[in-house]
Amino acid sequence: MLIIGIAGGTGCGKTTVVNQIVNELPENEVGVISQDSYYKDTSELSYEERTRINFDHPRAIDFELLEAHLSALKKGESIEQPVYSFVEHNRTGETVTTHPRKVMIVEGILILTHSELRELFDIKIFVHADSDERLIRRLKRDLMERGRDIDEVLSRYQNTLKPMHEQFIEPTKEFADIIIPNNKYNTVAIDIVRTIINERLI
């Protein structure tokens, strides 16, 4: 099994890069795991308390469960991936059965901050985008897909996202094997990743 970690700041275009890689591989050979599924369970907190959690800090992520799940997949075992609700700021209690694949892609803003998790990645990718571009993408997504209002999104960006990006996410560039600038469609970088994958799968 080839495990690829794809990190980068919020709105940097990780999903686009993931899709570009996935679309080039046979459907039954690739699986995707999102860090967002592994926010810690916060059922013991009220909704108001959950809204005050700093979800952009590494301590919000259940890295132990994610690491255990990746290790299980590597052994050929299926896992039950948690389902997370951004509306409720909590896990739903449901799971998605995820089977081992030749290539497993793990994507998320904080996945390169955790040393034990990094050790499981065969290829580490950091997707870089200009901060203004990331803010615009984040605004569009949170307003249209997650039911947030603009004041909430801008306040969270200024008080949480930006400082957390500078403290935790941007420094993880140094762990990356490949840095993909994603302000525009980057075919060269994707071609390089695709070539590496194909060589490993032979």
Q: Which domains does the chain possess?
A: 2-201 (3.40.50.300)
Full pLDDT tens readout for the chain, 202 residues:
999 999 998 877 888 888 888 888 887 889 999 999 999 999 999 998 998 888 889 999 999 999 999 999 999 999 999 999 988 888 998 999 999 999 999 999 999 999 999 999 999 999 987 777 777 777 777 777 666 778 777 777 777 888 888 999 999 999 999 998 875 556 787 888 888 888 877 6
Cβ atoms within 10 Å, residue 110: 22
Cβ atoms within 10 Å, residue 56: 22
Q: How far apart are CA 190 and CA 96, in angstroms?
A: 28
pTM for this one? 0.86
Q: Which residues contact 175 (CB under 8 A, 6 or more apart)?
A: 112, 118, 124, 126
CB of 84 within 8 A of CB of 92? Answer: yes
Q: How far apart are CA 191 and CA 196, in angstroms?
A: 9
Token duo for residue 66: 């994610």
| SS3 call for 131 | helix
Q: How far apart are CA 176 and CA 12, in angstroms?
A: 15
